[in-house]
Amino acid sequence: MKLLVTGGCGFIGSTFVRMALARGHEVVNVDKLTYAGNPANVAEVADDPKYHFVHADIADAPAMADALTGVDAVVNMAAESHVDRSILDPAAFPMTDVVGTAVILDQSRRAGVGRFVQVSTDEVYGSIPVGLFRETDPLNPSSPYSASKAGGDLQALAWHHTYGMDVVVTRGSNTYGPRQYPEKLIPLFVTNALDGEQLPVYGDGQQIRDWIHVEDHCSGVFAALEHGIAGEVYNVGGGNERTNLEITERILEYTNRDASLIRYVEDRLGHDRRYALATEKLSLLGWSAAVDFGTGLTDTVTWYRDNRAWWEPIKSGEYRAYYDEQYGQR
Ligand code: NAD
Ligand code: TYD
């Protein structure tokens, strides 16, 4: 297939691009290269004759019309993706996650694309104190990020309902692994711990997330792309619930640091307490998560330890200003 992947210079997108090429697909990577987009994430495939890069915004209709020529399927991963940034600067989020999604959906429809996969998040369901979210549960997003993602998710389903477009939506859980921008919990705490810096735990640290390795998240998106039913939603969860404090303690252990690095800070505004997903529907397509959490997390710590040249330049410049604004007064 000729696949158009958006956000292919980001964390999950770059993993997906590498996996798609390894599976023999041709890949057009459309990326705006925001602060989170890093060409180094796809450097090893840049010279592959089946790989093409288009530097563009998914909200740019003429650019999308051009990029979509001859494309069989679209996987829309491009997004503003960080909850904390959405609390500091909410207006940027609907521009990509809602408007951009509408533009690329519509250009894909006009181009006659065979299948459109909208990569969404479990955060669109909101928080769940006990039990698991199913695909039929109502959306109840809490943050500006998750509200914007819910907007994109619903539009994708509306394009199926209204135009009969072949659309599938995936709702993935918290993802970890190499090349994740060091603003999210795991890469931030791993890189801070490696540098002997404090780990800012929000509130009581008892919030729960369902962690999935990036390769398992991507194989879930492939399952939905290849075998999903048009108009359906598929949860992609790791079945691996951990409190933030458990994650913090493991990171301290794997980096040979102690609990003196933990700093409890003021909680995030509107902080969701727990996310958890039922994944039977995706399992029926033949998917299962393959990476054991302990192995995945130690490998991730090793990757950050061995790849300082990847993250040290990121953690200067613009990032420093963000970090001071986010954590300075906490
Ligand atoms: P990321 O922030 O690492 O990467 C996002 C990429 O999108 C970057 O390369 C950026 O340059 C690009 N981008 C942003 N705006 C764009 C625009 N307007 N046009 C073109 N490119 C643009 O994000 P990620 O963590 O890899 O997440 C990828 C997708 O998966 C997102 O849609 C996110 O909502 C979803 N998701 C992420 C997680 C997670 O834990 N990271 C979990 C579930 C779902
Ligand atoms: P994050 O990685 O931002 O993902 P999300 O908010 O999309 O789940 O955060 C994961 C959890 O870790 C969340 O409960 C907030 C918490 N957290 C901290 O306690 N401290 C931090 O510095 C960060 C970035 C997150």
How close is the Cα of 39 to the center of ligand 1, in Å? Answer: 14
CA distances from 230 to 1, 68, 71 (A): 18, 20, 18
Question: CATH no. for residue 249?
Answer: 3.90.25.10
- pLDDT for res 21: 98
DSSP H or E stretch at residue 151: helix 144-163
Determine the pLDDT at residue 74. 99
Give 232-248 pLDDT, tens digit per residue: 999 999 999 999 999 99
Looking at all shown ligands, the one closest to residue 84's CA atom is 2
What value does the mean pLDDT take over residues 198-213? 98
Q: Please say if the pLDDT value at position 75 is more than 90.
A: yes
pTM for the complete prediction?
0.98
**What does the pLDDT read at residue 177?**
98
Q: What is the pLDDT of residue 316?
A: 87
| N residues, the chain | 330
Examine the domain organization and report whether 263 and 295 are in the same domain: yes
Closest ligand 1 atom to residue 152 Cα is 32
Q: Dihedrals φ, ψ of 264, to 5°? A: -75, 125
Which of 29, 33, 34, 235 should be mutated for ligand 1, with most atoms under 8 A from CB? Answer: 34
Give the CATH number, domain containing residue 154: 3.40.50.720
Q: How open is the CA angle 221-22-52, to the nearest 5 degrees?
A: 85
Say yes or no: 134 and 93 in one domain. Answer: yes
CA 39/CA 262 separation, integer angstroms: 33
In a domain, 285, yes or no: no
- The total of other beta-carbon atoms located within 10 Å of residue 128's CB is 18
The pair of three-digit structure tokens given for residue 35, joined into one six-digit string: 């602060």
- Residue 249 a catalytic site member: no
Q: Please state, as a whole number, how many other Cβ atoms lie within 10 Å of the Cβ of residue 189.
A: 27
**Total number of domains constituting the chain:** 2
What CA–CA distance (Å, rounded) separates 258 from 280?
Answer: 39
Residue 329, pLDDT score: 85
Ligand that comes closest to the CA of residue 16:
1
Residues 90 and 222 occupy one common structural domain: yes
Claim to verify: residue 185 and residue 128 sit in the same structural domain: no
Asked if the structure places residue 32 within a domain, the reply is yes
Range of the domain at 270: 179-209+240-275+291-315
122 is annotated as an active-site residue: yes
Q: Is 125 a catalytic residue?
A: no
